[in-house]
């Protein structure tokens, strides 16, 4: 993606995940926004956007942030919302172990409190160590925590999988966490 497309994608994420009213966009209870309205409102803010550019951004997004509705008239972000939306996800059995990447400055708090969603609706987890390291690297020296997700599920915790493959849960108590000893070598 070009730098201009990356900037526009960030703007769209902000609108769809966190503050639709900042652009005068309405999202329904499931996070869907009407594409024509989104394009019109974002264009009115000075962005160069049309349906073709929007489709290119969605197609080329390396994190698969967006989905189009089955009829192609609406768009939403797949996860990462700080506004309350029902993403219509069904609880699903996770793998035995999932991973969470964070920065080293958060390790002690995570050991005490576990993983909490903070401003977002869910805690984000992955099966991919490289993804976990990349996410952790955005917050300082990366540290990867192993989450005993299979055990959590057996203990009654729910897990969901977003359209982009990110695993989501409400929180991870400390007893289900293990910091990986060799994260620097990964």
Phi, psi for residue 143 in degrees, rounded to 5: -130, 135
Examine the pLDDT at 12 and tell me if it is beyond 60: yes
SS3 call for 29: coil
Return the domain boundaries, the chain.
3-77, 98-185
Q: Which of 28-42, 87-101, 171-185 shows the lowest per-residue confidence on average (mean pLDDT)?
A: 171-185
How sure is the predictor about 182, in pLDDT bands with cuts at 50, 70 and 90?
A: very low
Separation CA 47–CA 4 (nearest Å) = 10
How sure is the predictor about 1, in pLDDT bands with cuts at 50, 70 and 90?
A: confident
Separation CA 170–CA 117 (nearest Å) = 7
- What does the pLDDT read at residue 183? 43
DSSP-derived secondary structure for 124-173: EEBS-HHHHHHHHHTTSSEEEEEE-HHHHHHTT---EE-TTS-EEESEE-
Phi, psi for residue 55 in degrees, rounded to 5: -65, -40
**CATH architecture of the domain covering 3-77:** Orthogonal Bundle (1.10)
pLDDT tens-digit map of 25-77: 999 999 999 999 999 999 999 999 999 999 999 999 888 889 999 999 999 99
Q: What is the pTM (predicted TM-score) of this model?
A: 0.79
Q: Which fold has domain 98-185?
A: ADP-ribosylation fold (3.20.170)
């Amino acid at each position: 993606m070009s730098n201009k497309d990356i900037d526009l994608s960030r703007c769209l994420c902000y609108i769809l995940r966190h503050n639709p009213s900042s652009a005068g966009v309405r999202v329904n209870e499931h996070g869907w926004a009407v594409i024509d309205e989104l394009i019109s409102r974002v264009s009115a803010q000075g962005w160069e956007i049309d349906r073709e550019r929007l489709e290119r951004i969605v197609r080329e997004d390396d994190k698969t942030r967006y989905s189009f509705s089955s009829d192609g008239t609406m768009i939403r972000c797949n996860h990462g919302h700080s506004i309350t939306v029902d993403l219509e996800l069904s609880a699903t059995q996770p793998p035995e172990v999932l991973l969470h990447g964070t920065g080293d400055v958060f390790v002690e708090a995570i050991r005490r409190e576990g993983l909490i969603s903070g401003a977002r609706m869910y805690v984000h987890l992955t099966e991919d160590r490289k993804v976990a390291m990349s996410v952790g690297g955005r917050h300082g020296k990366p540290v990867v925590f192993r989450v005993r997700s299979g055990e959590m599920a057996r203990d009654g915790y729910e897990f969901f999988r977003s359209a982009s493959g990110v695993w989501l849960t409400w929180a991870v108590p400390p007893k289900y966490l293990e910091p990986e000893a060799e994260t620097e070598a990964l």
